[in-house]
Structure 1
């Protein structure tokens, strides 16, 4: 599909948690939380650590580098301060506080205890360690290529492991949910960039949404391939039995509730930070133009 010169091609954001569209209203609830709940914040923080979600939050910062490209621009358009501003907006401490604010209100004790109990096991901690490495991998392109090679071997052999990996990916969120969330992130970023005067947006929000929807089939396939290759690489050192145990754990109702919420939190933080980045980029552009 051809695009207007004012609009970038749809750029896939790399995220591990595949899930639901962001829930911005959770921030409203979090703002009204009573100080009496503050003692529970430490339990939520411990939960983030034991499940590895704290590292997943840190990895959001890696997506900042894709921001100019999403707008069809180059880093140089924003001057020498680009890296500094991106680092400030995607500050990991800020993102952790945002996550804690939401989860302190929205994460129920039952699902929290259930997920923490699984990830506290020997298998759970080994899985978290592998996932943390995958989150922060510097050469994600090479890792995904290796994952695709692993998948090709599994397909050629007709290995049962392929079905287990697909089962795991489905348990943590469908490709449709991921696609909707990523579309929402890009939509919010483009609209914020347009409002800030960074790009000339010739389309309304409804027209832009229709444009993104027109690319859904291609993007859904890309997401599915990427998620499968990523899982193949991330869990390459685990046995089929261990991964089957993990899939069964992920399919439990309490774990499903946890992942649905964590997905929503991660996508909301991404969208929020990209909107903030658009405003800061506008200031950088003005300084550079001067």
Structure 2
């Protein structure tokens, strides 16, 4: 199973820049998309019905804000939206597709904007952590993909020394990752197969920072412990330009071909 996670600055504009054209030859099974910036009914037909994929959307209540989607080659057994917290579910932050033995989710963490403060962002971290704890009690495996709006370790951003007081790399945010990858038991799937430096997914300055490698690794795929052994490839598609974030591609070679 090959999974792509991609934060776009609006799905319609990403498609116009060639996202769906690229996906036609990308040989992927699931695409987790974040920050649609439109409700499903506002999208054109060629966006809602991508060639070769089944598309599922979860909209935010506000116009032009947030929203997540999953594109799947195989028809899922079930689709779930939201994490059971109306405050965040109204912002369209989570959608999940259930397959035979594994579920794949697309999640968009809030940034600091007109709808959310830093304290709101930290509150969402705790709400999602509680959701992760619930999933660990279920008898299936999970892969959650998305923009976590933060970096975990110093290797995950270029100027970490200058970012210690910056939202996205605050001690509280880094401690949250420690909790998720520690006691809660999830794994950073990307680092199971890719240990390289300068593996960034977001650049503050779109025009020059890609060349200067002045970036952050904010976009991740996290997985339950039993899944980590199946990660065989992990890479960032830096040369694609569908927005300020790069696509994260990870291949999971499950023993069961049906997965």
* Fold match by TM threshold 0.5: no
**RCO (CA 8 Å, sep 6+): is it higher in 1 or 2?**
1
Relative to its length, the structure with more strand (as a share) is 2
Relative to its length, the structure with more helix (as a share) is 1
Q: TM-score, normalised by structure 2?
A: 0.30
